[in-house]
Structure 1
């Protein structure tokens, strides 16, 4: 996973070809599930769709995402693919803790590539780095991310910069999934 280095993250990227006409759910299916097989209760894509729907609705924290998921109507949870309790015929939303664990384990480079834009037709591409807010835990430093964006503000890709290095060493790896002809 991308928690160790940017190289590992980019090796596990899903195929980028053929993603341009797909819906968000169809793109997220291509992302590998980072969880162990044992103990999975909620579908991986459903958790990501619920989280993205909550953020689109204005949620700014994991607690707000969990609150949105708990109060979402059954029809919305059904469309997003939430887990079904067959005995009660009720859709169950994941908790805020489950959402937080899954989002923290997802490869940010693969997720950014699947949900990002195609650089074709862009006038220019810019790179920017940020430390992810709230990602520092005890002695573990905050996640340092490097992203590529087009001149009109569309995100192309993103990867985590390995600890004890800087973003300059990862710049070539950031642009590696794209054709060398456009840059």
Structure 2
């Protein structure tokens, strides 16, 4: 299959999943379809747009793209801010996870192993502080499955526990999670056991909690 055609089909698949998100607006008088705005935002971010104003300009200079997304004009910065603020983060996480699982199945990848790793989100700040997240990566398809927001590096075990308890069961076929020595944590170990799974930890002297786990 031609790579360009394949990418186009995969983006169309993403649009189908974005269309599942709840639109809290009254249907009367709607100008911009939510799925179209979100799709434009995704494309803008993929093309390096660092801000909402850059996403607006990106759409404004690509009118042929807007028509394909069902948009009559590029959404203003105010519209982008308002619509993105209305979308449920939890619902977005769920829909994107469903999309990635469907995408990996389409590519012939069975997700059995995932890696947990804390990352600082480049260019993403709140009150002047760069945000951090625990990222969950599929080892088979090298795809990002999910993210859990956290305050600092030492909150990774807590974020991992949250993900295991709330999300891991939505990944059928997932058999193994890997992480570094920081995850030698008592509460995380208990969460794994509560899921009916087993664990083994790598111990390091730099993690004093590991000796009591």
* TM-score normalized by the length of structure 1: 0.63
Return the offset for 1:24.
Answer: 1.8
Deviations, residues 77-120 of structure 1 (Å, cap 9, x unaligned): 111011xxxxxxxx222012322333344324124314424485
**What is the total number of aligned residue pairs between the two structures?**
150
Residue 50 of structure 2: aligned partner: 60
Match status 1:102 vs 2:57: no
* Distance in 2, Cα, partners of 1:168 & 1:72: 40
Distance 1:101 1:128, change over 3 A: farther
Say which structure, 1 or 2, has more relative contact order (CA 8 Å, 6+ apart): 1
Q: Give the number of the structure whose alpha-carbon radius of gyration is greater.
A: 2
Flag structure 2 segments of 5+ consecutive residues without an equivalent: 1-9, 177-213
Match status 1:171 vs 2:163: yes
Partners of 1:112 and 1:155 within 8 A in 2: no
* Distance in 2, Cα, partners of 1:49 & 1:98: 14
After the TM superposition, which residues 7-156 of structure 1 pair with which residues of structure 2 at under 5 Å, given as runs? Answer: 23-33=13-23, 35-37=24-26, 40-73=30-63, 75-82=64-71, 91-106=72-87, 107=89, 108-117=92-101, 118=104, 121-122=110-111, 124-130=113-119, 132=121, 133-137=123-127, 144-151=132-139, 152-156=141-145
* TM-score normalized by the length of structure 2: 0.55
Return the offset for 1:25.
Answer: 1.6
Distance 1:131 1:170, change over 3 A: farther
Flag structure 1 segments of 5+ consecutive residues without an equivalent: 1-19, 83-90
